[in-house]
Structure 1
Amino acid sequence: MSARKQAVLDAIDAANTQDPNLDDGQPVELLYGQRMSAELDRLFPDASDVLQIAARGQHVERWKLARSEYPEGRAGYLAWRKAQGVHHAEVVMAMMEQAGYGADEIEAAGRMLRKQGIKRDDDVQALEDVICFVFLKWYFGPFAAKHSAEKIQSIVEKTARKMSAEGRARVLSEFDLPEHLASAFET
């Protein structure tokens, strides 16, 4: 691993250790970043340094923009999500600049974190597939336990739509989903 990539990953982890929210005694976003890196390594073992950085920084400092600071409803949620993407990109891009990355690599990471080019840019799509796998593997069960069957179905369908055909096929081969949920991933 290059020294500059390690410096950025360490900076992301250092920022995320400040997360006041804990999951099993660990800062939530530190754990999320580690899960993103592990899943990226599993799904895309030849990922570029920039994609590896974007995956680790996907939720950097996420707790700093509270959902409660945005209006209720879908429009407020989407505004919050967009603001999160911009924030994550700005933080990671500054860390990359500090570590000596060039402008093209820095901007590529920013595009990935802002999800610009999903379905058109292979790296942006790879990041989105990893995000969806991490959600399904680590967060879907607790989410499903708190929501109605209709909400669960809607979220699964939205998740599937964001994924590549290859990602959806892997979901079907790796997860034992009930037929009504699995059908969302069928191509």
Structure 2
Amino acid sequence: MKTSNPFKFSQAIARFDELNALDPVTEIYEEKILPKELIYAQRMSKMLNQLAPNASEVLQLAVRCQHIQRWQIPRASYPMTKPGYHEWRNRLKKFHADIAQSVLKDVGYDEILVSRVCSLVRKDPVQDDDEAKTLEDVVVLVFLESYLGEFVASHADYEIAKFEDILVKSLRKMSKEGRSSITKLIFLPDELELVLRSALAKV
């Protein structure tokens, strides 16, 4: 992947990682105990490199800070209702974008690039935005590869049909190209693979 200014880029990535490294929740990743959101950010960058190795600098930055310091605004701080969920998600989008803006300005990026990264992080609705589509593809691919098993295990009361419905909604957010990459990039245990393939057939 190429960048217009490797020094600024490496500074920004390092700052994002420093902020995510403050996450008090840890997980095991590649035989190391690391902060949860730092792991997520690294997984996002790794998946982007697999899916779109020629991704722009803007997209690389947006991918890295998608969940930056997400633990600061826990789901429990909003009503456990559908409107409460959407309010929480919207607050997070602005929160992540505000942090990204501060970091990118501090390392010297120009306003045009900063604005574009923040727009992607906020998921601003823009028609035919290929980078926004790629970002969403990466989000879903990372979920499937690294978090689907955990999600299924934590909802043992769900019927298979409900899992399929949830997956169908996620898969519909992806581009056609993103969905076609699933079988090339994602390898799951047999029981999860069956559910995923069933969901893919319904999209």
Query: Smaller-chain TM-score range?
Result: over 0.9
Q: Which residue does the alignment assign to 2:42? A: 34
| Residue 78 (structure 2) pairs with residue 67 (structure 1) | no
Residue in structure 1 matching 2:113, options 105, 110, 121: 105
Question: Quick check: 11-20 or 76-85, which moved more?
Answer: 76-85
Q: Is contact 1:50-1:108 (8 Å) kept?
A: yes
Summarize deviations over 1:36-95 as a string: whole Å, max 9, x none: 010011111001111111111011000000110101122111111111111111101111
Cα distance change on mapping 1:153 and 1:50 into 2, 3 Å: same
In the alignment, is residue 160 of structure 1 matched against residue 175 of structure 2?
A: no
CA distance in 1, matches of 2:94, 2:86: 12
2:11 counterpart of 1:15: no
Q: TM-score, normalised by structure 1?
A: 0.93
Can you list the C-alpha shifts for 1:8-52, whole angstroms capped at 9, x where unaligned? 100000001100011122100000000001001111100111111
> Counterparts of 2:72 and 2:92 in 1: how far apart (Å)?
9
2:196 paired residue number = 181
- Cα offset for 1:157? 1.1
Partners of 1:70 and 1:12 lie apart in 2 by 26
Corresponding letter in the other structure for 2:26: L
1:36 and 1:134 in contact (8 A); partners too: yes
- How far, CA to CA, are the matches of 2:89 and 2:100 in structure 1? 16
Percent identity over paired residues: 35
Q: Say if 2:165 and 2:199, in contact at 8 Å, map to a contact too.
A: no
Which SS does the other structure have where 1:123 is aligned?
A: helix
Question: Normalized against structure 2, the TM-score is what?
Answer: 0.86
Aligned CA RMSD, in angstroms, stands at 1.7
Q: Is the Cα–Cα contact under 8 Å of residues 51 and 181 in structure 2 kept in the other structure? A: no
Equivalent residue for 2:136? 128
Measured in 1, the distance between the counterparts of 2:80 and 2:124 equals 25
Work out whether residues 41 and 66 of structure 2, in 8 Å CA contact, stay in contact via their aligned partners in 1: yes
Task: Find the structure with the greater CA-based Rg.
Answer: 2
Deviation at 1:119, TM superposition (A): 6.2
The residue correspondences of 1:72-151 to structure 2 (distance < 5 A) are 72-117=80-125, 120-147=128-155, 148=158, 149-151=160-162
Instruction: Report how far residue 102 of structure 1 moved.
Output: 1.2
Verify the 8 A CA contact 1:41 1:47 in the aligned structure 2. yes
Q: Provide the secondary structure at the position in 2 that maps to 1:23.
A: strand
8 A Cα contact 1:40 1:47, kept in partner: yes
Shift of 1:172: 3.9
Report the AA paired with residue 154 of structure 2: K
Structure 1, gaps ≥5 residues long: none
Find the residue that maps to 2:181 and give its secondary structure.
helix
How many residues are paired up?
186
**Aligned-pair CA distance for 1:183:** 4.0
Q: How big is the shift at 1:150? A: 3.9
